[in-house]
Structure 1
Amino acid sequence: MTYVIAEPCVDVLDKACIEECPVDCIYEGNRMLYIHPDECVDCGACEPVCPVEAIFYEDDVPDEWAPYTKANVDFFDELGSPGGASKVGKIDKDDPFVAEQPAKEE
């Protein structure tokens, strides 16, 4: 099991969770952040610092945001497991499910 970032993060990218993550497993895409399912150690440090409450334990993702669990996994299909987000920096893509979401109004 792992933590998942869901819809409230789309187009927000606050990044407080990145600074709190002790294992550097939160990666930045174009429109949202993604937690690497194989690198996450389930510590939960990211969850309370998210200002938009977008981070959930995998079993607790609300039903309406369930597709984000798959999006967090699929985002890493090509990337694999580089062993830390700081090694790769911002990744110029999003999972297709996230990319096709309507833009949030500012």
Structure 2
Amino acid sequence: MPYVVTDGCIKCKYTDCVEVCPVDCFYEGENMLVIHPDECIDCGVCEPECPAEAIVPDTDGKAEKWMELNRDYAGQWPNLTRKKDALPDADSFKDEDGKFEKYFSAKPGTGN
């Protein structure tokens, strides 16, 4: 039962979660992170670290639609194992709803 990143991460990309992950299962896109569900060990230490509350367990009802996106982009984007600065306007986007349709980018991030 892995955790997944939802659209709450888009335009924020806080990386507090990356810093605590014991198995380095986060992958970086241009404006969000994803978790590789096959690498996640379901420890849950990342969930409370996310200021945008964008990380949910796969048992959460909203996780289902994000599982495939996390799996797909974890295979395309670079691995991120160290904390980086959040995006410049992260705090102003943190509580916005419906960010996927407005802002999602399939471009990869830079990784470590």
Same fold (TM over 0.5): yes
State how 1:1-106 maps to structure 2 within 5 Å: 1-62=1-62, 66-78=64-76, 85-86=80-81, 101-103=101-103
Gaps of 5+ in 2: 82-99, 105-112
CA contact (8 A) 2:2 2:37 kept: yes
Residue 26 of structure 1: CA displacement? 0.8
Scaled by the length of structure 1, the TM-score of the pair is: 0.69
Percent of aligned positions with the same letter in both sequences?
43
Number of residue-to-residue matches in the alignment: 86
RMSD, aligned α-carbons: 2.3
One-letter amino acid of the counterpart of residue 34, structure 1:
V
Consecutive aligned runs of 4 or more in structure 1 exceeding 4 Å deviation: none
* CA deviation string 1:15-54 (max 9, x = no partner): 0000010111111111210101111111000000100100
CA contact (8 A) 1:4 1:61 kept: no
Which residue of 2 is the match for residue 97 of structure 1?
none
Residue 76 of structure 1: CA displacement? 3.3
Higher RCO (CA-CA < 8 Å; seq separation 6+) = 2
Residue 73 of structure 1: CA displacement? 1.2
Gaps of 5+ in 1: 87-99
State the alpha-carbon separation in 2 of the partners of residues 12 and 55 from structure 1. Answer: 13
